Amino acid sequence: MTFAARLLPLPFFTVLPMQAAIIGPYAVDADTVHLFHFDETAGTSVAANAVGGGRSGIAFDGTTLLNHATAPQPVSTAVLGAAGYSTPFGAAANISAANLGIGLDGNGSGGFQVGTASTCPDAVAHSSFTGSGGAFTIEALVKLPSITGSQREIACTDSAFAARGFQFRVSSSGQLEFNFIATAGAAATAAIPTTGTHAFSAANWYHLAVTHDGTTTRLYWTRVDASVSSANEIGSTTTETMTGSVTGPLVIGNEARLTGNATEGLLGLIDEVRISKVARGANGFIFEPLDLETDTDHDLLPDAWERLHAPTLGKLSGLDDANHDNDSGTDLAEYEAGSDPVDPDSTPSDIDADTLPDTVEVRYFGDLSQGPTGDPDGDGGITATELANRSAPNHRASNAADTDADSLPDAWEQAHFSSLSLNGGSDPDGDGFGNLQERIATTDPGDAGSRPTGTAVNLVPLDDGDHATSDFGYAGASAINTVAFVRSSLKTVGDQQFITWYGRHQHDAAADFNNTIWIGRRTLGSSQWEIFRHPTYTANNIGDGHDVISYGIDGEGYMHLSWGMHGDAFHYARSTTPVTGTGPIVLGPDGPMSGSENAVTYPQFLKLPDGDLLFLFREIASGNGETFITRYDTATDTWTPVHQNGGLQAPFIKGTWAPAYDYNAYLNMPQLGGPDGDDLILTWCWRYLPVNGSGAPGSPGGFSGYQTNNMLCFGRSTDAGLTWQRFDGSPYSLPISRDAESGVEATRAETIVTIPEGSSLINQASTCLDRAGNPVTATWWAPQTATGNFRRQYMVVFRHDNGTWQTRTVSNRTHNPTGTRYSETAVRDLGRPIVVNDDEDRIIVAYRDDSGDNGITIVHSLPKAQDPDRQVWIEFDLTRENLGNFEPIIDNELWDRDRQLHFLYQASEGEGYTPPANSADRMSVLEWDAATYFAHKPQPRVSFSSDRTEVSIAFMSEPSWTYRLWSSTDLDDWAFVETRDGTGEPLVFTWPAVEGETKRFWRVEFVEGGF
């Protein structure tokens, strides 16, 4: 069978373009040395060589190479008989483990004998592979799960001999490589495509080849597709050849070198391995161009296409509804579709004749590479069964038990809702908890009275409603999606909410879009998301938590992103159209901003009232960095540095003063405020270079890492970052510095809290503004360091009405020893906090730390009118699941507008937590209606017991309140009954029913923070 590319019907006299077909399997020609079709049945171990008299291949187990002069390797029956590319190519070999391979039985003994370091019974001379001038070709069809992480041999003759043979392989760095080790020339290497027609995908088959014509070695990597008319060359060199005098064992899909055993298994499928003694050209492989111009019999079918399928013209016709194979498609329809007109099983709707509709295969797999009996997602259900069950055959989370892949078993959904129309974030009973939470808690999602324990928070997983896609995110120890200093990964504009993250498939390590930027959009109140994936944009280092995604949305609705940097290559892109509304979110090219930015870390966007954006960032590195501001003008669509010196961008905070001390400023969540909303208000700490580091003198205190962090400073700009002043309004001279190293005293930063080095002060914490517009900073350090107590606590810094800056310890961490000053390795024990301030001047802090369940803890003050000195702080757990290295990120815009706290919510590796699979975990938004919470008023309900001997007074409580029950028979004299603290669950008070008593009253008194 052959597959031709689809061509739309045109009149016979129209000049048609050249098209292509996949031709195969190969037939032996005069230049073929070895040819393996691997069409053997499963359970066998001998692969036939199609060349007459050619030696067979033996599937072997190379866990241990025997190092014996004559003993053959143990055979493997798990290699042959795997599913191949398509029907004409038959079966394939599956090199599924690093120790498996297929060795050439060079001496015809019936086994594969590796031999010893000095002799190999099955060794073959490389001269047998080559023709005139040393020409050769080695090629194969492969299907791989990945092109990185392992050395994947295609064919190899390397050995323990002094003169070693060749390796033709996919390297662990994603390159195709041919290396004849015995020669002095550099190996021939070329990067495997990751974009374009031939981009690697684990779902596709590829043709790989290396050729040498006596002078030039060429490497080919080509997607097996009927639209391809010739092989795709990816690189060439004149430095690599093959030496005919060298001998070695020929192994397909692995190596057999005694010093390393067989450890470079292909870990994938391989088929149609051919070695030739000529350098075959790009048109000499399985890709064949077709002349679709000529139609001498005027039947609307090109002659070349007819001869491809029939021995003579006239057998097929595009006229009169001719249907040679009597299937569901006429000959003309089969030509248009690219199906086989002489195979009744190959139809326009199923061109590969595998009983799966092509539209379904393309929908789930992107091509026609899968068959009905495979289980590509590894969930235990074959493709045909999954389609019958209406589950997705490409996504393990979609299976017979949960076809819509929303983590709600179908049986559970049917029992509660009689349909699968709701997802895990829906809250049909309005109790403040989503369906996923209710399922886990085994409560009734249709009954508001049956609800999970604790304060109501609705977990809304990111779910695009497509059971074929995974909406998870990367969840390695870097916690790159949930680092608190990202001011903008979650944002509301109008009635739409946007979220960005590095996506990663729930199960598939080789999935397209893994570790790239994904953007979600939803209408507020909806649990259904739109998700837009951007395959070429990823972090410079996904394992570095600094390489975050930050974005802003300007006043015209365009999204601006900067991502993936830790003092290295700068990344910035702007959406091609406004992202608000219903259109697709498409990013423009990764390019410069103003053109001045480089070596950037900590990108942060803020939107000004006029719709312009500010971009704050650090350049250079930790301990010797400068802080800059760039402004985007929506009128001109340009970015311009706010501060310039001689036409070049200039920092407004400077930290490089070598040969004096170098340091950098770490900003605590910049805020906009003031009467016009364009006051830029900052607090920050300083960090020195580590002691004994390179460059300027290191830490004066002799510390390293975050232990060099020191002081808390303040600055305000009333003109969007251009000029700066201290709290009393006196102006700064720029650039601001720690110690006025320039000699200008007006550059010295205003210190609002003295925190020496060695105080375990975290950097990049959080700031909000109180009702007076003054900053409130939440961070953590060890406040009793001076007494030798290094226990770290969460701290709040605020401006008191008496004109002083004051600090409050808002946690009571006791599980760390007081005498241990922790190094950088323990920074993740305490997540950075976030802080907000509500309409009653209540300070609210959220953090995650290891002193409890490692979920989100809330600690808040009383309203300022009740406690102006901020002495009372109330703490409770908002969530209790282990979130690993998570730090809270909130939707600042939604908080400012509606007093709703929405958290970007994802557990990540660390603190005893391990992601369930593939370094990926669920991405969600956790919704806490803080405004409703702090407006809490209990609603008591009075009821009798079934035997009417007891009265119950019940109401929902919240952990920030204490409740006191009083009782009376006449509304005048009240008797105290009991006081209880709130828990986030119903409180139930009981009272004995008194026989003959005709009336009784109860009163509930409640106080925030306790009596």
Q: How does the average pLDDT of the chain come out, rounded?
A: 93
Give the number of other Cβ atoms within 10 Å of residue 475's Cβ: 31
- Which are the contacts of 312, defined by CB distance < 8 A and separation ≥ 6? none
Percent of the chain with pLDDT over 90: 84
Q: For the chain, give the number of residues.
A: 1011
Give the number of other Cβ atoms within 10 Å of residue 266's Cβ: 30
Q: Is the pLDDT of residue 515 over 60?
A: yes
CA 884 to chain centroid:
17
* Higher pLDDT among residues 307 and 364, named by residue: 364
Q: How far apart are CA 932 and CA 917, in angstroms?
A: 37
Query: 83-87, 710-714, 767-771, 850-854: which has the minimum mean pLDDT?
Result: 83-87
SS3 readout for 473-523: EECCCCCCCCCCCCCCCEEEECCEEEEEEEECCCCCCCCCCCCEEEEEEEE
Cβ–Cβ under 8 Å, residues 104 and 249: yes
pLDDT band at 234 (very low <50, low <70, confident <90, very high): very high
Buried (b) or exposed (e) across 504-535, using 16+ Cβ within 10 A? Answer: bbbbbbbbbbbbbbbbbbbeeeebebebbebe
Q: Is the pLDDT of residue 309 over 90?
A: no
Q: Is the pLDDT of residue 700 over 70?
A: yes
Tokens of 364: 């789930």
Q: Which helix (H) or strand (E) holds 360?
A: helix 358-365
pLDDT band at 138 (very low <50, low <70, confident <90, very high): very high
**What average pLDDT does the segment 352-361 reach?**
94
Q: Is the pLDDT of residue 21 over 90?
A: no
pLDDT at 260: 62
pLDDT band at 17 (very low <50, low <70, confident <90, very high): very low
Tokens of 934: 């702090």
Q: Is the pLDDT of residue 297 over 60?
A: yes
Name which of 427, 443, 452 is nearest 985 in CA terms: 452
Percent of the chain with pLDDT over 70: 97
- Please state, in angstroms and as integers, the Cα–Cα distance from residue 213 to each residue in 23, 233, 239, 618, following that order: 24, 14, 12, 53
Cα Rg of the chain, angstroms: 35
Residue type present at position 921: D
Q: How far apart are CA 518 and CA 575, in angstroms?
A: 13
Give the number of other Cβ atoms within 10 Å of residue 971's Cβ: 9
* 207-224 tens-digit pLDDT: 999 999 999 999 999 999
Residue type present at position 241: T
pLDDT at 581: 95
Cβ–Cβ under 8 Å, residues 89 and 141: yes
pLDDT at 933: 96
Cα three-residue angle 62-66-69, rounded to 5 degrees? 130
- Which are the contacts of 626, defined by CB distance < 8 A and separation ≥ 6? 618, 619, 620, 651, 653, 654, 655, 656, 664, 735
Q: Is the pLDDT of residue 3 over 70?
A: no
* 59-80 tens-digit pLDDT: 999 988 888 889 999 999 999 9
Q: Which helix (H) or strand (E) holds 275?
A: strand 268-276
Cβ–Cβ under 8 Å, residues 870 and 843: yes
Buried (b) or exposed (e) across 341-352, using 16+ Cβ within 10 A? Answer: bbbebbbbbbbb
pLDDT at 794: 98
Place of tokens 């070429």: 536
- Which are the contacts of 844, defined by CB distance < 8 A and separation ≥ 6? 835, 836, 837, 838, 858, 859, 860, 861, 901, 930
Tokens of 146: 């990945």
* 801-856 tens-digit pLDDT: 999 999 999 999 999 999 999 999 999 999 999 999 999 999 999 999 999 999 99
Residue type present at position 99: N
Q: Which residues pair with 639 in a beta bridge?
A: 632
* 415-441 tens-digit pLDDT: 999 999 999 999 999 999 999 999 999
Cβ–Cβ under 8 Å, residues 155 and 267: no
pLDDT at 691: 76
Strands (E), 322-465: 458-461
* 575-609 tens-digit pLDDT: 999 999 999 999 999 999 999 999 999 999 999 99
Residue type present at position 907: A
pLDDT at 236: 95
pLDDT at 257: 83
* Higher pLDDT among residues 473 and 162, named by residue: 473
Cβ–Cβ under 8 Å, residues 239 and 142: no
Cβ–Cβ under 8 Å, residues 178 and 207: no
Cα three-residue angle 805-808-809, rounded to 5 degrees? 150
Cβ–Cβ under 8 Å, residues 767 and 681: yes
* Higher pLDDT among residues 124 and 290, named by residue: 124
pLDDT band at 261 (very low <50, low <70, confident <90, very high): low
Query: 684-693, 796-805, 876-885, 953-962: which has the minimum mean pLDDT?
Result: 684-693
Tokens of 70: 């004559």
pLDDT at 258: 78
pLDDT band at 11 (very low <50, low <70, confident <90, very high): very low
pLDDT at 477: 96
pLDDT at 242: 75
Q: Is the pLDDT of residue 9 over 60?
A: no
Q: Which helix (H) or strand (E) holds 464?
A: none
- Which are the contacts of 724, defined by CB distance < 8 A and separation ≥ 6? 652, 715, 716, 717, 731, 732, 734, 736
Select the highest-mean-pLDDT range: 299-308, 310-319, 689-698, 924-933. Answer: 924-933
- Which are the contacts of 921, defined by CB distance < 8 A and separation ≥ 6? 472, 473, 475, 906, 907, 908, 915
Task: Supply the pTM of this predicted model.
Answer: 0.79
